[in-house]
Structure 1
């Protein structure tokens, strides 16, 4: 072998090593930038929550007199005691139970309806199926505020004003959830349907025994979205509820601004808000793995 070829082979690893070093340096810099961005974004979201929680444990004197302080000088439970003792003008526990009943029943009905509807749009063949689906999907892009007056007229005509049905029934067949279920179902092999059909299974049997068990991840995600959406809904319950005892917690919080805000009871107002977000926070903590599974619309299929 010539001396020139030997020199070339000796220099090649060095060049490859330099290239790998530069590539690794670029990856490290991008990784640190990503970490910095994510940590900054996390702080922007977390610090107000921490400040809100700590404010609910401050005395009114400290809230008014002290400036910005992330944690209180003295932790007290007086605000929460007064909140729970007020069962006449601000029954926070009753509001929480109302919201829990409304959100739970609404979520259950949503899961039932979107699973059946998604099955129809994905598996059943009928004339104008896709045209109907995409027409309804396009209509769903209109802002919800456009439907407030017609929706209230319908609720009033049915006699559902100041009842839980005013929040449970509207929005059961949301096209966003139906779209997710349909897309997920399109990823399920149709050979499963054909095998069940050969065995003599009806459409409902195929839906209940074959398709429904495979849709568990996406149905849980849609259920979580529906529960949090119903729990956090603000404008609609303020419109349809005037009875204090029947209000959900979001409409009640608006009422608390008049009760506590006029007397500058900021600690009690913040404590009420913290109590209102606890259920959805717990729900997310226990079900966060399903949010990760929902990223892959075919996560229910294992081959």
Structure 2
């Protein structure tokens, strides 16, 4: 199945997929994991392009914008993702966040779709975390802790269990009632026989965890220090919730992209404004050309910054499913 056969409107119109259109598409966690992993493998093979993202942030720090361009060499799709968040100093309820993905077929030269990228990101990010955990966690890992109950925290446990079914104890930390309920609901939806444990003593929970995933927002007071990590622990940073010491005192540092980490990971820099070197990147690990963990007892810090090639692959997958189901609105934008 080629992209242009099932996705691209041949009359040159653009399929616009709204938040509601994408919410109605059913996709399994395994499908998401496979799609994201394929995107990384394709990048590692040199078949895709993922340039460094562009960032714009005003001096007073009230907003931040990103622009990301990429090309998937297997799907033959070029895409541009934009991300804009306003009100960074405000509470979560008062912030505004918009992210879009525009896809173009690089065989026909025609537009494929433009979509709200919110659901793409809410699936892609925990999927990447799960791949990091699968590759970097200790072979004996049985306990996972998720810090934060926002968009990225709510699917973290279901994806971790999909990638690591051997996990036994599932903990999470959060303070927002709606977020806490959402974490429970998402796990029950995908794994109805599993019950997550809400923890209030974060330091104690961190000491018990083999895998820690920090997804909290910027206002969180949570900041797990390196001395709370047990031997062999894996700490994955997605948002906030880990102190810089977990990075600087790690035995090994893994990143989805060292270049992206240098752009978006500045809050983890030391007193001199420096970040440690990355030992290996995830695409190379998934491609089998590099090893993530070299010892069962080493403490690993993993930085999940997301790469646009994964958004492209997953967005294209959603565009395929939407076309099959007749979802979206076709707009004659260039007429």
* Superposition TM-score, scaled by structure 2 size: 0.21
Higher relative helix content: 1
CA radius of gyration, larger in:
1
Which of 1 and 2 has higher RCO (CA within 8 Å, sep 6+)? 1
Considering fraction of residues, name the structure with more strand: 2
